Every structure is written in structure tokens, then in C-alpha cells.
Structure 1
Amino acid sequence: MRRFTPVSVRRERPRRGLFADQTRARTAALNQLLLGSVVLFVTLLVIGQRSGTGLETYFLGVVMIFVLTGVTMVVPWNRIAPGWLAIIPVLDIVAILLLRLAIPDGGFGLLWVFPTMWLAAGFGVPGLCGGVLGACAAFLYSALAAHPEQHLNVYTLLLLPMVLLAVSATSYLTARRTAAQRTLLSKQAQMLSQLLERTRSQEQEVTEILDAVDFGVIRIGRDGGIAVTNEAHGHLQRAIAATDADTEVYRDDGVTPLPIEEQPIERALRGEAFDDQLVWFGPPEGERRALSVTARRLLDSHGEDAGAVVISRDVTAEATALRARDDLVASVTHELRTPLTSILGYLDLAIDDPDIPPQARGNLEIAERNAERLLGIVGDMLAASQASRGSAEFSVVPDDIDVAEVIRASVESLLPRAAERAVLIDTSGLEVAYARADSMRLRQVIDNLISNAIKYNRDGGTVSLGSTADDGSVWILVRDTGLGITKEEQAGLFQRFYRGDTVRATGMKGTGLGLAISRDIVRAHGGDITVRSTPGVGSTFIVRLPAGSPHPSTKGERP
């Protein structure tokens, strides 16, 4: 299988506080650099507009801010307790107070926004309250110290504290929302990591399972590309390549070339689904391989086609064994046919001899019936083996025939057998229906269906027969009131040599070939046989054949 190398997801124990401290250190550095840049710019303006006398307090505040900026950049905050970082914005408030005391009308009070926002964002409600109260106290002290003799305006005293409170509250809420989002993203990342690990583990298990099976698996994607293959498929491809059979592909009979458009992969790419298509690779006279291929369509969550899975299995040994069995059966039955025919001929001569005593004649008639039965079994086995090889002897010569006449002829020959078990054969459902069929082959099918309906019926039961035609098909119905067939047995009913448990329980003899041969004959006509059955009630076999035309001399006789 196409390998997806599993990558182990290492679950690291979270290093408590390390990531958060690094974030806090970066935030501190950015805040302090921003404050220091603003103070530097303002200081350059102050130096250009004012003389250097009387500015000692101002420059003390400036130096204090620059020193704090340097300390913020140098101190490894990830190695000390988080609370120590609060000293920096608190000292910034003191430094800004010195700037305001030195130049009361310079508007330096707005700089308190930086440390109060920092405290509110980084230290929660205590930082919010402490920062706002500290800045307001510094503002009030600077206002009283600058104008001790003046009556201060209430609006002047309230405006800056309200601004600081609003900005700090906004910073606090933003920080809380950011922290919540970070926590949510962290949990989602952890869940995705676990899901990825579980998915890779499941993928590895599926890979190992697919590589362990002995049948090939191909996953065809929605676009028609080969998405996944397993090792067994590669083995099959190498085995086929060893036969030099790249272009020689044959049907299940092993001799008829299979067109490219009917090959399994091409059918799967066209969107078809199928079961157990037998394909031979390699020339009939050389080394070859037989694959049984099944395709299943896949649907996505919306019910749309999402590609297919194609499963191929090497059945060379099974197919070769079946062909050998058929050859053996054909050879044996062919050799048995001639002596049996000779035996029947001599039995007929002996029975026709008027000098034979009645008791001996009766014994000869029993021997003749059993010889005829044996000849019938031999014929069935020979027909089955020839049909499986696609023999020309299993051909049909269709003509326009009335199936009702064929059915009545079959009933007439089987009446003695039905009378032995008091089985009533009802032919009231027969209608004139012309089919395009071989009368001899169709008689073989009808004989088998009616014979089974009598054999597996109850004593005193009924066999109902019917025939009808529609625009393009002719339908033949054989219904009995017998034992019925279970759902499980119906699945193998038309397989060669199949005899279900219900049949075995009756003790009836049979080869299990009759229905298989009948279906092959009907399909050779372009029709089919289906069955409907209920255990304990009975079975109904329905034969569909292509419709024919009445002969010119009988036109108008059809109802």
C-alpha cells in the first residue's frame, strides 16, 4: 500500500509559565520602548524651546524612564516571579509625575495612559485599580503642587482620571478577551494534535491490515486517479507482467478477447459497480493468470460519487481446477453416452420381443427407465461442461414458436409422473405467446422446471402453468405448492452441482445441474430466469424470453 510514514506526535509537558513569561517580557519591552520613544521625542522639543535652567526635575524623570527602558530590555523576566514586572509601570507613573512637576503645562499627564494600560492588561483587576488610583493620585498631587493658590476646576480634575479609567478598562477587557481566545486556540490545537495522532495511528493500522490480506485493493479517487494501492495488488501486477500479457486479456471462457472498454478498471472509471468479473491475462497456450475483480462505488457525506474501490483476487488455481473438472466431466460423460445408447437400443429390442415372459418384460422396463434416466443425467453433465467452456454444441437456433404448445407437450410427457403423486397440473393460464426461441432447447428448460415442480411438491399438490406476452417479451410461469426455498438457498439455486438443505432433506436424487443448464439456455436466448419462493408455501419460477412473431399462416390467432 502507498505508505504514509507515521509521524509520532510528541506530547510535551507544558513548561509552566515559560511561554506566558516570554509573552509578558515582549509586552513589557514594547510598552516601555513606546513610552521611551514618546518621551525622547518630547524631550527634543523641550530642549529646542526651553533653556536648560530649572529642568533638573524634568531630566531626572527622563533619565528614570530611559533607565527603566534599559532594565526592561535586560532583565530575564521569564526567570523571576511575574509580580516583579509591575515595578516598571509603577516607577513609570512616578517618572511621569516628575515630568509634570517640572513642566506643569506640558500635557505630560497623558503619558500616564501607557503605564495604566500596561497594568490593567497585564495584572488584571488589581493592576487596573492600582494603576488608575496611582495615576490619579499623582495627577492630583501635581495639580495641587503646580497651582496651590488657585481654585481648581472640577472639570479639570475629573477629565484625565475618567480618560485613564476608560482606557484602562478597555485595555483590561481586550486583554481578557485575548487571553480567552489564546486559551481556546491552545485547547483546539491540543485537540487537533490528538486527532492527528489518532488519525495517523488508524491510518497505520489500515495500511498494515490491507498489506496483510492476499487480495489486491485499488482506491480510485473522484478524479479517476489511483489514490491507494496495497502490496497484494503490486504482487498481482508483477505476476501478470511475468506472463508478457500486457495486451492479451480474455473473458471468463479464457479464449474470447476482452475489449479495453469492458476491462474492470475501465468499467470502474466509468462509474460502474460489478461483482466477480473473471478476467484471464495471457495467451491460452502459454502461462496465464485469472483474476476475479469486484468494484464498489463510494459516496461522500452529501451522497455524491466519491470514486470506487476495486478488489482483485488471484483465482488462477480455482479457475484451472474448474476447467479441469469440466474437461473430465465432458470426457467421462461423452464416453458413457455411446454404451448407454447401445444398452437402451438392446433393451427396446428385448421389450418388443413377444416371447419375453411378462415378469421379465417388467424387469426390462424398469431397467430401461433407469437407463433413460442415467442417459439424461449424462446429457445434463455433458451440456453443463460444454456450456462452461463456451462450446459450439451449446448453441441455439431460434425460431418463432408458440411457447404454450411447447408447455403442453411437456405436460403431456410428464403426466404419468404427476399421477404417481396425485399432483394436479393446471394449464388454464396458458395463452398463445410467440417467442423467438429454439423449441428443442426451450423444451429442455420447461421439462426441467415442471419436473422439479412435481418432484418437490406435496402429494396431492398443484402445479400451475402460465404463458403470456407483452410488447417485447414472452413470460412463462411455473408455480408449485411444494416445500419452498429459503433466501439463503435461492442465492445458490442456479449454480452447478448445488443442492440445498431443503432438497437434501427430501431424499430426492439429483445432480444439481438442471436449473444451472436451464438458466444458461434461457440466457443464450437473451432472456433470464428468476425465482420467488416462500418456505412452506411454494415456489414460482418465471422465464422471460424475447418476443417473436406469429407465422403468416397463424396470424390473427393470437388473442
Structure 2
Amino acid sequence: MRAAWLRDGIVDRTRERTAMLNQLLLGTVVFALALLIAIGDFAGDTALFFAGVVVVFLATAATFVVPWNRISAGWVALVPAVDIVAIALMQLAEPTSVMGLLWIFPTTWIASTFGLLGLFGVIAAIVAIAMLLFVSAQEVVTYTKLLVPFVLVAVAVTSHLAARRSDAQRTLLAKQAVLLGQVLAVTRRQEQELTEVLDAVDFGVIRIGADGRIAVTNDAHGRLQSSVPTADGDAAAIAYRDDGVSPLPAAEGPLERALRGEAFAGQVVWYGSPDGPRQALSITARRLVDAAGQDDGAVIISRDVTAELTALRARDDLVASVSHELRTPLTSILGYLDLAIEDPAVPDAVRANLDIAERNAERLLRIVADILAASSSSSSSVEASLTPQIIEAGDIVRASAEALRPRAEGRAITLDIHGVEAAPIWADALRIRQVVDNLVSNAITYNRDGGTVYMGTTTDGTSSWILVRDTGAGISEADRERLFQRYYQAGAARRAGTGLGLAISRDIVRAHGGELALHSSVGVGSTFVVKLPAIGPGDGEGTTR
């Protein structure tokens, strides 16, 4: 067993250093005093004085020689005790001097190092020595002579209290260090567990700090990034919109949106080269707040949905194939129904039944047409069928309002077109009319009886906007996130249509180089905004022609 003063291979020399420093300080002062007396006049007993000096020097030498850390702590008290006796000899050599002030050094040492026992012991020693000096001097005791022992007692008490305060602070710091060590160990363990959990999941995680720097990523994020196909080993993958064809502007990228402070869910981005395979990631960003409620960055979650979207496209292809096969017989049925209805020999009762059959057949044909439009593998088929030119958006909106006014009047819904202004757009008139008809039709269908549908157009010369706003029940946040997905129907819409109208409308708008946006508040209503270019590809001004 190693000695108590040796732990972990490091020798604790605190006690030795304390003894050396305290004694060296006293020895230096005594040496300077002895030097002054040696070269000057001294009225006292020189032999007795230097006897005390020699004792101090011997005690000082002992502090450098004796291994105090290897012996009991109580033995160290012998050094200041010897100093007290040596200083008493120096004071006896010249009773009228103030040599007794040197007792401050051993007094401070004992009172601060040896606790209450040392404090009371040094006070008793000071009082006893002072009385002996007074008796041996055989002089009248004055206030000046009494001042030295009082000062020494005050210094002893002050030193003791300061030492206890310092010990208490060291003890508190030691406890805090232990507590911080425990907290650090727990934090490291939790960090390790969190890292293991994040690395075990199959979706990518990115933690962005409030300053925009990426603080944490997991292994799955690296795997997803490394598996993104590129044109070559050095070129970065190109990002595409959720249709897999339209390039995604850099400003609309998930990371850029998160850095701007946005929160979003389920943004689908395709990555890959123009002519090679592509990978689809569904990306979600959630904002974080700190204890003060301030923005603390975001967490971005990415998931590979290539297989899911590929399966959905396969489903769309199947539905498109079936729908295409249904279209021809439906067209034939409608033709023969028209012939039968126009035949004067058909009784009125039978003609009424034929009218019902014709209306349902026409509705079925419209549904088939919507399915065919929505089941195209990309927006390229929509874009290829466009014949854009500069047209007036206000004319499209007015024509749509006029066509749907009878349907609105059946529910006492007002179509307000006072917000229509001159706004040129570079677009295919039939396709944009299809979009506006769908938006206005939805605004009527999901409005309240007696409500209002506000329509408007405006432009800034470069872009033009078409607005359709209703006073209905609004759309919840959960539904808004999926509203433009094909076949998705929100709330009451599940019984009113196919869930294709908005998806088709957005594809048409994007094929024009525009965007379809939604703003809705539950209980207030919904607003759809169509943004379209106001000028053609080679035009410098958005003038109507």
C-alpha cells in the first residue's frame, strides 16, 4: 500500500510548500533586520538577539530538509512555535523595541492552519509571553506596550476566520466540481445514446443551429446523400420538384427554406442527373425554440420515398390505361343516347330517363378525363399540349364567373368581380380557364349558403396574379399540407369529387412557369392565388397584343 501522501503517482507537497513559504518569509525579514543591527548601533543584548536570529535560521533550514508530508501534520506546528520563542529572545534583547511585531508571522501561520486549537493555543502563548516580558522588564506597563499583544490577537482571529472562509469555498468548489463531473458524465452518456439511436434509424437527421451552422447529422443522412445518383462522380445532383421533371429553384430547396426560418412537412424533392436515375426524398423541417422562447434553429428529417412514389406512378399508369379503355365506350354510349333523345318517336317518360342516363354518362366521362389528366407520368405531357400567348386574365375570370353564376345563385352565393384589373398573362387560354373554373367551382361548393366568392386579378408588369377567395369553413393545417396531392380529399370534399381538380390545376399552372398557392384560416375561408408570367419568353414588356 502506498503512503497517504502518494496517490496516482503524484506526490502531494502542499504541506512542505506551505512550511517553506511561511518560514522563508519570516527568515527574510529577520535577516534584513539582523543586517541593519549588525551595521548600526544596538542598545540591547546583541548576543541574545543573534541567538534568536540563529534559531529562526535553523527553523527555516529545517523546513527545507524535513519531509513534512511524510509525517503527521501536528509536527509542522513545532516550526512556528520555535519562531515564537526565537522572537521572544529577540524582544528580550531589547525590551523597549517592537521586535514583538514579528510574532505576526508565526501567529498567522498557526491560527490559519491548525483550526480552533491553534487559534486558542497561539492566543494563550501570546498572552503568556507578553506577561513574562512585562515582568522581566520590571517596567511600568503602558498602553503602547499593551497594543502589541492586542494586535497579535486580532491578527490571529482574522487569519483564522479568513482560513475557514477559504476552506469553505474550497469545499463548495470541490462539491460543485463533483456535481459538474456527474452531470457531464450523464450528458455524455445521453449524447452517446442519442447518437446511437440517430445512427440506427433509416431516415436522415440534420440539426441546424440558430446561427445557421449544421450541428448534428446522422449516418443515415450520409447514406442518403451518397446514394443520390449523379451524372458523374464529381457533379452534384440536380434537384427537381415533386413531379420529378421541373427543376427546383435553389431558393426553394429544403435547406435554404429551413435557413430562412421556414417550417414545412413532406416536401418531395427528386435528385439525380437529367438523363439518369433519380431518387425521391420526402423532407420535413421543424423549428426549435430555446428556454427563452427564441428561435433555436431547426431539425430537418429526410426519408427515401423513391419506392413509394414509383409504386404510385405505376398505379397511375394502370388507372390511366383503364380510364383510356373506358373513354371510347362512354363516348359511344353518349352518342347513342343523344340519338335516342332526339328521336321524336321516343315517349316523354322514356326521354326523361334517357336524360338522366346522359347526365350520369357525361359526369362519368368527365371523371375519366380527370383521371387521365392526373395519371400522366410527368407534367411534360401537360406542357406539350400548351399553346401560350399573351391574353387578358380578367377576361378569363369574368367568363368563368358568368358561366358559374347560375350554380352560385342556387345557393344565394355572390360572385364579386370588382377586384378584376387589367393583367396580361402568357398562357394557354383553355388551360387557364380550366384552372379558374376549378377554383371558382370549389369556392362555390365549399362555401356557406349566402356567402361570397371574391375574384380579382393584378400585375406588376413581370408577373400577374389571379385570386379566388371564399367565405367558407376554411381548410385545416393537416389538410393544407396534402391538399394538392392527387386523389386526396379534405373533409366534406370526400363526397363531392375525385380529389384530382387541385392537383391537375397545379400541374397546369406549373407547366406555364407559374405557381398555385393557398392561404386558409379555419372558420374564415380560403384564398387561392395563381401566379403566372405576364410576358412571353422573348418579350421585354408585358403588353397585351
TM-score when normalising by structure 2? 0.76
CA shift in 2, pair 1:189/1:394, >3 Å: farther
Q: What SS does structure 1 have at the residue aligned with 2:228?
A: helix
Tell me, yes or no, if structure 1 residue 141 matches structure 2 residue 135: no
User: What letter matches 1:409 in structure 2?
Assistant: A
Match of 2:186 in 1: 198
What is the rounded CA distance, in whole Å, between the counterparts of 1:77 and 1:362 in structure 2? 120
The question of whether the paired residues in 2 share the 8 Å contact of 1:120 and 1:172 is answered with yes
Match of 1:228 in 2: 216
Shift of 1:407: 2.2
Shift of 1:372: 0.9
Q: What SS does structure 2 have at the residue aligned with 1:495?
A: coil
Shift of 1:278: 2.9
Deviations 1:44-89 (A, max 9, x none): 66677799xx877556545544554455455555566544443432
Match of 1:375 in 2: 365
Shift of 1:15: 11
Shift of 1:381: 1.0
Shift of 1:375: 0.6
Match of 2:236 in 1: 247
Paired residue for 1:320, among 304, 310, 328?
310
CA shift in 2, pair 1:172/1:231, >3 Å: same
Tell me, yes or no, if structure 1 residue 93 matches structure 2 residue 84: yes
Tell me, yes or no, if structure 1 residue 353 matches structure 2 residue 347: no
What is the rounded CA distance, in whole Å, between the counterparts of 1:499 and 1:319 in structure 2? 19
Paired residue for 2:320, among 320, 323, 330?
330
The question of whether the paired residues in 2 share the 8 Å contact of 1:100 and 1:107 is answered with yes
User: What letter matches 1:166 in structure 2?
Assistant: A
Match of 2:23 in 1: 32
Q: What SS does structure 1 have at the residue aligned with 2:489?
A: coil
What is the rounded CA distance, in whole Å, between the counterparts of 1:232 and 1:488 in structure 2? 27
Shift of 1:497: 1.2
Q: Larger deviation: 151-160 or 437-446? A: 437-446
What is the rounded CA distance, in whole Å, between the counterparts of 1:100 and 1:264 in structure 2? 87
Paired residue for 1:410, among 365, 379, 404?
404
User: What letter matches 1:370 in structure 2?
Assistant: N
Q: What SS does structure 2 have at the residue aligned with 1:424?
A: coil
Paired residue for 1:189, among 169, 173, 177?
177
Shift of 1:33: 3.1
Match of 2:541 in 1: none
CA shift in 2, pair 1:465/1:339, >3 Å: farther
Deviations 1:261-296 (A, max 9, x none): 554445555666554443322235433322233445
The question of whether the paired residues in 1 share the 8 Å contact of 2:48 and 2:90 is answered with yes
What is the rounded CA distance, in whole Å, between the counterparts of 2:205 and 2:91 in structure 1? 81
Deviations 1:482-536 (A, max 9, x none): x9876655654443212356556xxx474222344355556766554555555xx
**Structure 2, unpaired ranges of 5+:** 460-464, 535-545
Shift of 1:231: 0.5
Q: What SS does structure 2 have at the residue aligned with 1:90?
A: helix
Match of 1:498 in 2: 488
Tell me, yes or no, if structure 1 residue 288 matches structure 2 residue 278: yes
Deviations 1:191-242 (A, max 9, x none): 3222322322222222122212222223345665443321111111221267
Match of 2:500 in 1: 513
**Structure 1, unpaired ranges of 5+:** 1-13, 550-559
Match of 1:433 in 2: 420
User: What letter matches 1:110 in structure 2?
Assistant: L
RMSD over equivalenced CA pairs, Å: 4.4
Alignment length (residue pairs): 510
Paired residue for 1:159, among 147, 161, 168?
147
What is the rounded CA distance, in whole Å, between the counterparts of 2:122 and 2:191 in structure 1? 55
Identity %: 51
Alignment of 1:386-401 (within 5 A): 386=376, 389-390=379-380, 391-392=382-383, 395=386, 397=388, 398-400=391-393, 401=395
Shift of 1:319: 2.5
What is the rounded CA distance, in whole Å, between the counterparts of 1:441 and 1:113 in structure 2? 102
What is the rounded CA distance, in whole Å, between the counterparts of 2:429 and 2:130 in structure 1? 118
The question of whether the paired residues in 2 share the 8 Å contact of 1:433 and 1:467 is answered with no
Paired residue for 1:214, among 178, 187, 202?
202
What is the rounded CA distance, in whole Å, between the counterparts of 2:482 and 2:497 in structure 1? 15
The question of whether the paired residues in 2 share the 8 Å contact of 1:469 and 1:547 is answered with no
What is the rounded CA distance, in whole Å, between the counterparts of 1:484 and 1:313 in structure 2? 30
Shift of 1:378: 0.7
Alignment of 1:262-301 (within 5 A): 262-266=252-256, 268=258, 274-296=264-286
Shift of 1:37: 4.1
TM-score when normalising by structure 1? 0.74
Paired residue for 2:330, among 323, 340, 348?
340
